Amino acid sequence: MALRMSIAAMSVLAVAAVLVVAGTAAAAASCPATPPDAGATLQVSHAFGPCSPLGAESAAPSWAGFLAEQAARDASRLLLSYADSSLQAALSQDTLAVAGDVVKAYTFGCLQRATGTAAPPQGLLGLGRGPLSFLSQTKDMYGATFSYCLPSFKSLNFSGTLRLGRNGQPRRIKTTPLLANPHRSSLYYVNMTGIRVGKKVVSVPASALAFDPATGAGTVLDSGTMFTRLVAPVYLALRDEVRRRVGAAAAVSSLGGFDTCYNTTVAWPPVTLLFDGMQVTLPEENVVIHTTYGTTSCLAMAAAPDGVNTVLNVIASMQQQNHRVLFDVPNGRVGFARESCTAA
Ligand SMILES: *[C@@H]1O[C@H](CO)[C@@H](O)[C@H](O)[C@H]1NC(C)=O
Ligand SMILES: *[C@@H]1O[C@H](CO)[C@@H](O)[C@H](O)[C@H]1NC(C)=O
Ligand SMILES: *[C@@H]1O[C@H](CO)[C@@H](O)[C@H](O)[C@H]1NC(C)=O
């Protein structure tokens, strides 16, 4: 059996995921516990960290339901174990074809049974820095360098791009140093030093943004999480300033885990993420989520969930969409540039 990976078949690129399920739906469906043409199979129960459980797709969820479900998924995504999920997975090995490239003896996780939060049935590509990730296994080929542009989460087709290897990457791009945490080695930590709303840098305690490998505190970039989560003091400061800028004339309401929503058209201020050596000003499409029906719109961020990730700021896919995000591991840097990659 040969696995053929097509970017178009993936709806989520999980940068933080370590255990990998890659393949087209057809390949995944026949993914065997014991591959006939490959080596031994190892039974694992999420010993390698995050791995998204597959679940039944819920029928036509409401918008608020969708947001609530996504928030629950986001909350559990980065945890090193799934408290409320049970997973049964096998490690398989096979030849993986990526466009014209061939990866021999590629090791990937094959989920056999999973309960808990839903994951895309197409699987997850592990672009983290852990030893089992796609990136680590193809280091000789792609030099641990890649970039992606995620399309709008509303786009029906995955129209974004994933570029593997050093060739074709943007040469002139704003970058910030990549930080490594030996305790959470698959995550892409960066040094976020502040947040600006409009022209005002919101006031947050330095400790809320500081990188601390011992506690896991700091900021990571993660495409497997949908909405940015900020540690409570940072989120509250940002939210309060956004509310102040929008003005008291509009009534604030909550919806599906978001606490700063308006049911009328309001003027949202731009939000700028300040990193060591790099500023990223997010336009409204990266800051605000609009309901499909009606006029309600919400600040598409939330406070970090309780648990091990309470101290972690996660810059998620909604905030990255329509940007080229470059992960240059050998040179220890991450780059950001606007790029429109959502096809109509
Ligand atoms: C999505 O892409 C597929 C394959 O490129 C195409 O056949 C299909 O029509 C597209 N669907 C939409 C809604 O654009
Ligand atoms: C908007 O929210 C306010 C306050 O909750 C409410 O009084 C008003 O009826 C709502 N308007 C619409 C159009 O839903
Ligand atoms: C993060 O950036 C700030 C400001 O440039 C600097 O003082 C601090 O040492 C940096 N932290 C790390 C872990 O690089």
pLDDT score recorded for residue 308: 67
Nearest to 4, CA basis, from 96, 93, 92: 96
Compute the distance from residue 162 Cα to the ligand 1 centre, in Å. Answer: 18
- CB of residue 211 inside a 6 A radius of ligand 3: yes
Whether 114 and 95 have beta carbons less than 8 Å apart is answered as no
337 vs 24: which has the higher pLDDT: 337
The residue contributing the CA closest to ligand 1 atom 14 is 157
- Residue with CA nearest ligand 3 atom 10: 191
Segment 275-302 shows an average pLDDT of 92
Rounded to 5 degrees, what are φ and ψ at 302?
Answer: -150, 170
**For position 322, what pLDDT does the model report?**
94
Q: Return the pLDDT at 67.
A: 61
pLDDT tens for 162-216 read 899 998 899 899 999 999 998 888 899 999 999 999 999 999 999 999 999 999 9
CA geometry: angle at 79 spanning 236 and 231, to 5°?
15
Quote the CA–CA distance of 271 and 195 in Å, as a whole number. 7
- Return the domain boundaries, the chain: 2-142, 174-338
> pLDDT tens across 240-279, in order?
999 999 998 899 999 888 999 999 999 999 999 999 999 9
The answer, yes or no, to whether residue 329 has pLDDT greater than 80, is yes
Looking at every residue in the chain, the average pLDDT score rounds to: 76
pTM: 0.79
% of the chain beyond a pLDDT of 90:
45
Q: Could you say which of 2.40.70.10, 1.10.240.10, 3.10.450.50, 1.10.420.10 is the CATH number of the domain covering 174-338?
A: 2.40.70.10
pLDDT > 60? residue 35: no
CA distance readout (Å), 280 to 108, 196, 235, 267, 333:
34, 10, 17, 20, 15
Residue 157 CA to ligand 1 center (angstroms) comes to: 6
- pLDDT beyond 60 at 59: no
Q: How far apart are CA 287 and CA 124, in angstroms?
A: 25
Span of 100-114, 211-225, 263-277, 299-313 with lowest mean pLDDT: 100-114
pLDDT at 338 over 60: yes
And the tokens for 155?
């786009």
Highest mean pLDDT among 119-123, 178-182, 289-293: 178-182
Atom of ligand 3 nearest to the CA of 211: 13
Mean pLDDT, residues 290-301: 86
Name residues whose C-beta falls within 8 Å of residue 156's C-beta, 6 or more positions apart in sequence: none
Residue with tokens 């972690």: 312
